[in-house]
Amino acid sequence: MERVLLKNLKEKLNEKVMVKGWVHRIRALKSVTFLILRDRSDLVQCVVDKSIDISGIKNEAVVEIEAVVQPGKNSLHEYELVVSSIKLLNKVEEELPLEINKEDLEVSLETMLNNRVLSLRNPKKNAIFKIQHIILAGFREFLSKEGFTEIITPKIVSEGAEGGTALFKLNYFGKNAYLSQSPQFYKQMMVAAGYERVFEIGTFFRAEEHDTSRHLNQYTSMDLEMGFIEDENDVMDMEEALLKYILEKLSTEGAQYFELLKAEIPQISAPIPRIEFKEALAILKDNFNKVITDNDLDPEGEKLLSQYAKNVLNSDFIFVTNYSRKKRPMYTMPKGEDGTKSFDLIFRGMEITSGGQRIHDYNMLVESFKSKGLNPEDFSSYVNVFKYGVPPHGGLAIGLERFLALLLGISNVRETTIFPRDRSRLVP
């Protein structure tokens, strides 16, 4: 007999089936025992007669059950399994450190992460990464349809793409090397190689000694780069269409997970508002008496600007454009006296995307490196590409864990990372 997934039992009414999974909960009564079985797809109530020996079976034991699917109203479905046999595939050796079968895990984040594999058996925690899967699938599907090629770039590099010092250094056969901060240089080089449109979903590293709810030292970046653009607006147009596609996919394929997590899927029913950085400063000052003295938005400024976008512009998203050159990387295309053809996308109070048009002229790029105090010769494998005809191009990066956390109303990105890496965590 072949195994049937629990989500398919409704098609097997009055048939005998074989199912496998974990024992989610056991409730023993005088004449019968109710057992909730869980597999990767669903939960189902099983009715076990007292004549069937289930001694030694505890919560989270792995079992194989043969049963008949019969009508039966319960909190899970309008059907249940009437068990004819149950086989223990693997027992539980000791008491569980978490009460997985509770609707909400009533433990600290640290305890949850220390027992990560067990915590992910909880249906709510499990649902987070089912949603992540749909986001990643939507990202790939949309960009593939738009003529993008998926690439895989090196994660061991000789220099940082951001030109900063927040790099993890390692010994590479006697040479200094670093873990990659970003695929930026390689994305641009692949545009120059003639692919024109490329994307990557990759793991990257920042050696920043932060300890906040919004940062990780190892994170997942969803990147794209596209050639033959007019300006940064083409990149923003692409991201808006991409987000619409992902959100629609979540609505059709992930609605049950959002319902379980009591989270709301945002809609993009009108163009995402676009405002320049200087306009954002004026909005913050006039509406919230918030004064920004730096050339960037601080976390409070992002939250207040999102509040304005939601209440006044009826949007969960807002693009902020034309940041100062002081706050943008050396490859960013200048605009005017001090601006850049750059943007950030802010979603529900936090920046989730940075992007813009890149410099494609060799001489301009060399001067931009120098203006940042960097020696172009240290980045020659990248810079020299621009001697040989590179089209106008631009791109963006979306932080997956942060986007997922904001989407689900989760306050810490460690909870939207399967096995997070921060200043203090190297296991599990």
What are the domain boundaries of the chain?
Answer: 6-90, 123-416
CATH architecture, domain 6-90:
Beta Barrel (2.40)
Average of per-residue pLDDT across 393-409: 98
Instruction: List residues bridging with 354 in a β-sheet.
Output: 344, 397
> pLDDT tens digit string along 41-67?
999 999 999 999 999 899 999 999 999
Angle between helix 299-312 and helix 277-288 axes, rounded to 10 deg: 80
Q: Note the pLDDT of residue 159.
A: 82
Give the Cα separation of 120 and 118 in Å (integer): 5
CB-CB neighbours of 409 under 10 Å: 11
Q: Note the pLDDT of residue 74.
A: 94
Is the per-residue pLDDT at 161 higher than 70?
no
Specify the CATH number of the domain 123-416.
Answer: 3.30.930.10
- Read off the pLDDT band of 188 (50, 70, 90): very high
Per the CB < 8 A criterion, the answer to whether 12 and 26 are in contact is no
Q: Sign of the C-alpha dihedral, residues 162, 168, 172, 176?
A: positive
SS3 191: helix
Residue 270 φ/ψ, nearest 5 degrees: -140, 165
- Read off the pLDDT band of 213 (50, 70, 90): confident
SS3 350: strand
Residue 382 φ/ψ, nearest 5 degrees: -90, -55
Per the CB < 8 A criterion, the answer to whether 351 and 302 are in contact is yes
Burial class of residue 323, CB neighbours in 10 A (0-12, 13-18, 19+)? buried
Q: Note the pLDDT of residue 348.
A: 97
Which two structure tokens, joined as six digits, stand for 333? 């295309």
Given the structure tokens 């295309």, which residue do they identify?
A: 333
Burial letters for 198-211: b for 16+ Cβ neighbours within 10 Å, e otherwise? Answer: bbbbbebbbbbeee
SS3 377: helix
pTM given for the model: 0.95
Angle ∠(421,257,128) on CA atoms, nearest 5: 0
Q: What percent of the chain has pLDDT over 70?
A: 99
Average of per-residue pLDDT across 256-277: 96
CB-CB neighbours of 194 under 10 Å: 8
> pLDDT tens digit string along 346-391?
999 999 999 999 999 999 999 999 999 999 999 999 999 999 999 9
Average of per-residue pLDDT across 396-424: 96
